[in-house]
Amino acid sequence: MAQPPETRREQITDALPSFGIADPDSNIAWYMLIFPKIALMAAVLILPFLGSVYISLHEWAPLATSHPFVGLENYARLLSDSVFHSALINTATYSLALILIDVPIALGLAILLDMNLRGTRIYSASIFLPVVTSWVVVSLIWTWLYNPDYGMINAFLNVFGIAGLDWLNSRDTSLAAIIIMSIWKHVGFNMVIFLAGLKGIPDSYYEAATVDGAGRWERFRYVTLPLLKPTSFFVIVVTLIFSFRLFTQVFVMTGGGPVNSSISIVYYFWQQGFQEFNMGYASAIAVVLFVIVFAFSIIQQRSWGGDVDY
């Protein structure tokens, strides 16, 4: 017969240590346990965000003595700001490119490395090395690689008789150049996560599928992909959030140009906040960015996340 909840609760409470700070009957010990995490979250995430929302409703220059309340004016301004629109489109393009190109490449590399072929360790280290290298350093190196006159990329293209491009100084190629470089740097991160996901799939599923008559493609289609769903969900969400933070590459390589062709939301936010000192407007941009990322996470969680708990 099931015990009444009260008895079970008493048993559980008695079995747990009281940490010497409170009566076992009180819940203070529980709050104390989660307090550091709540405090940290509040200090670095919740309070700054609420601050941003507050500032975004004001005209706010850093050294000004008064910050007049302007309501939703900053948000209304965003609707008609063509630079913000460019930043939004560029960031969305960058995100889409990463999800459509980076994620499949990372999965492909992880599958190759999971085959335990000769030299796997060297390959995995080589692919992961850019991940642990500074974005600034990588951006500088790729700026040289993209140089139209003495850059190695154009030199390589010339070998095949392809005319070199003015990668970072052309409106047509500046964002693409940043995307290529970012995929090169970031793909190792997703690859490692996919690799961990692949290693977590027991061999017995593949063996069962093999005995069931499934070939290599069928095993990938019916075993690997479905069982990698939780990993893929994580990779896509993390890549999406990461991609919306596009800043350093733009800052070092193009400065958002030419003619805002590579400007990103975060870069525009930085420009408005720390170059133009329009903190109110910059905060509005930050809040919109938060809402976009949060909305994507919720949509993905709703449409995909509920089915990954096996």
Which residue bears the tokens 């938060």? 290
CA dihedral 104, 137, 153, 125 (to 10 degrees): -50
Number of residues that bind another protein (CB under 8 A): 19
Closest approach of another protein to the CB of residue 286, in Å: 39
Nearest in space to 98 (alpha carbons), one of 237, 195, 220: 237
Contact pattern for another protein over residues 204 through 233, marking x by CB under 8 A: xx-xxxxxxxxx--x---xx--xx-x----
Give the type of residue at 83: V
Q: Which is nearer to another protein, 150 or 310 (CB)?
A: 310
Torsion angles phi and psi, residue 173, rounded to 5: -115, -10
Termini Cα distance of the chain = 30
Q: To the nearest whole angstrom, how small is the minimum distance from the Cβ of residue 118 to another protein?
A: 14
CB of 116 to another protein, least distance (A): 13
Shortest distance, CB of residue 217 to another protein, whole angstroms?
A: 11
- 303 Rama class: left (phi>0) / alpha (psi -120 to 50) / beta: alpha
302: left (phi over 0), alpha (psi -120 to 50) or beta: alpha
| Amino acid, single-letter form, for residue 39 | A
DSSP code, position 244: T
Least spacing, CB of residue 106 vs another protein, in Å: 21
Output 62 or 213, the one with its CB closest to another protein.
213
Cβ of residue 115: shortest distance to another protein, in angstroms?
A: 16
- Nearer to another protein (CB atom), residue 108 or residue 202: 202
Q: Do 201 and 141 form a contact (C-beta atoms < 8 A)?
A: no
Q: Which of 9, 152, 202, 295 binds another protein (CB under 8 A)?
A: 202
* DSSP one-letter code for 3: P
Determine the 3-state secondary structure of 141 from DSSP: helix
Q: Is the CB of 184 or the CB of 205 nearer to another protein?
A: 205
For another protein, the closer of residues 218 and 276 by Cβ is 218
What are the beta bridge partners of residue 69? 58
- Tell me how many helices (H) and strands (E) the chain has: 17, 0
Nearer to another protein, 20 or 213 (CB): 213
Q: Which is nearer to another protein, 85 or 221 (CB)?
A: 221
* Residue list 28-87, contact with another protein (CB under 8 A): none
Are 74 and 284 in contact by the 8 Å Cβ rule? The answer is yes
Q: How far apart are CA 65 and CA 121, in angstroms?
A: 59
Q: Which stretch binds another protein (CB under 8 A): 6-14, 200-208, 254-262, 265-273?
A: 200-208
Residues 6+ apart with CB under 8 A from 307: 229
Complex with another protein: residue 172 or 207, whichever CB lies closer: 207
Q: Is 234 in the site for another protein (CB under 8 A)?
A: no
Report the nearest approach of another protein to the CB of residue 126 (Å): 23
Q: How far is the CB of 225 from another protein (least distance, A)?
A: 9
- Least distance from another protein to the Cβ atom of residue 223, Å: 7
Can you give the length of the chain in residues?
310
Binding residues for another protein (CB under 8 A): 202, 204-205, 207-215, 218, 222-223, 226-227, 229, 310
